[in-house]
Amino acid sequence: MQAGRGARFPSLRLLLTGWPWLVLALLLVAIRLSKGAGFSDLYALVTRPFWPGSAQSEWLRSAQRLDQQTRLGQLEADNQRLRRLLALQQQPGAARSAPVIARPAQGWWQQLMLGQGAWQGLQVGDAVVAPGGLVGRIAATTPTTATAQLLTDPGSRVGVWVARTGEHGLLVGLGTPRPVLRFLDRDARVRPGDLVTTSPASTLLPPNLTVGVIQHLDASVIPAPEAVVQLSAPLAAIDWVQVLPIQGRSDG
């Protein structure tokens, strides 16, 4: 009797004292059967503050920028060397940054007044570049200011080309935000979306400057087609520009 009673009491005591282990075992079995459900979620919740965040992505972007800048520098060096071999115009000398000190309202003239002038080395004909690409040329200088005639000015005429097809044209300002590209070829093969740049063989402007994108092509115009160009530089939001000296003058 005593032996039988003794054999029953220890198993009950074991059950009473060991229930946490039983729960743990059941939990592990559940995790195993559910392929980690709950456990993985709990781990994710606890470690969320330590996940790779904006800092890591910023490092990656920074490394990517560095890589792109290095490659751009190498390509520009290659470009310079090849242009020298082909006796084409060299890239312009040092660019001068100039603040936009007056921006007359849209009207009869489309121009910017810059806070640098002849004393700082600016000359009539210099290219004016903003973030996004070419915006115009210097039309007049005073000792400390310069007036830049925008590409949208009715008197502006700039030779450009479409890189994809290699076709040249004349970018003519109309007094509206979008100038018109008049092609020299009757059979222009351009299409909306084509990039417009300054010609690689240009002698009046620095080569390969981005100008804009063809927005609309009117093939019915005689004698040659015309295209409306959306300038890539936002003219209304420019506060600083860079002035690139014309060919044969790199006194930077």
Partner 1 sequence: MADLWRRSWCLATGLIVPALAMGSPRWLQLDAVAPAWSVLWLLPWALVDGPISGALVGAGLGLLLDGLHPGPVSQLPALALLGWWWGRLGRRDVVLERSASLALLSLTGCLVLGGSLLLQMLVAGTWPASAFQTLWAQTLITALLAPPVCSLWLLLWRQQLPGVR
Measured from the CB atom, the residue of 153 and 194 that comes closer to partner 1 is: 153
Contact 31, 39 (CB under 8 A): yes
Nearer to partner 1, 116 or 197 (CB): 116
With 0-12 / 13-18 / 19 or more C-beta atoms within 10 angstroms meaning exposed / middle / buried, residue 224 is: middle
* CA–CA dist 90, 217 (Å, integer): 32
| Angstrom distances, CA of residue 214 to CA of 150, 152, 162, 184 | 18, 15, 9, 16
**One-letter amino acid of 146:** A
Q: Kindly tell me which of 69 and 106 has the beta carbon lying closer to partner 1.
A: 106
Least distance (Å) between residue 207 CB and partner 1: 24
d(C-alpha 252, C-alpha 247), whole Å: 13
Q: Of the listed pieces 158-166, 173-181, 192-200, 204-212, which binds partner 1 according to CB under 8 A?
A: 173-181
Among 100, 118, 174, 224, binds partner 1 (CB under 8 A): 174
| 170 makes contact with partner 1 (CB under 8 A) | no
Q: Which region, judged by CB under 8 A, interacts with partner 1, from 44-52, 84-92, 145-153, 193-201?
A: 145-153
76-135 positions binding partner 1, by CB under 8 A? 102-109, 111, 113
Q: Which is nearer to partner 1, 39 or 109 (by Cβ)?
A: 109
| Residue 140 in the binding site for partner 1 (CB under 8 A) | yes
The full DSSP string for 25-62 is HHHHHHHHHTTTTTHHHHHHHHHGGGS--HHHHHHHHH
Determine if 232 is a binding residue for partner 1 (CB under 8 A).
no
Establish if 229 lies at the interface with partner 1 (CB under 8 A): no
Q: How far is the CB of 231 from partner 1 (least distance, A)?
A: 15
Nearest approach, Cβ of residue 181 and partner 1 (Å): 14
d(CA 210, CA 192): 16
Tell me the closest approach of the beta carbon of residue 130 to partner 1, in angstroms. Answer: 18
Alpha-carbon gap, residue 42 to 230, rounded angstroms = 53
Which residues, 6+ apart, have CB-to-CB distance to 236 below 8 Å?
none
Interface residues with partner 1 (CB under 8 A)? 102-109, 111, 113, 139-140, 147, 149, 153-155, 174-176
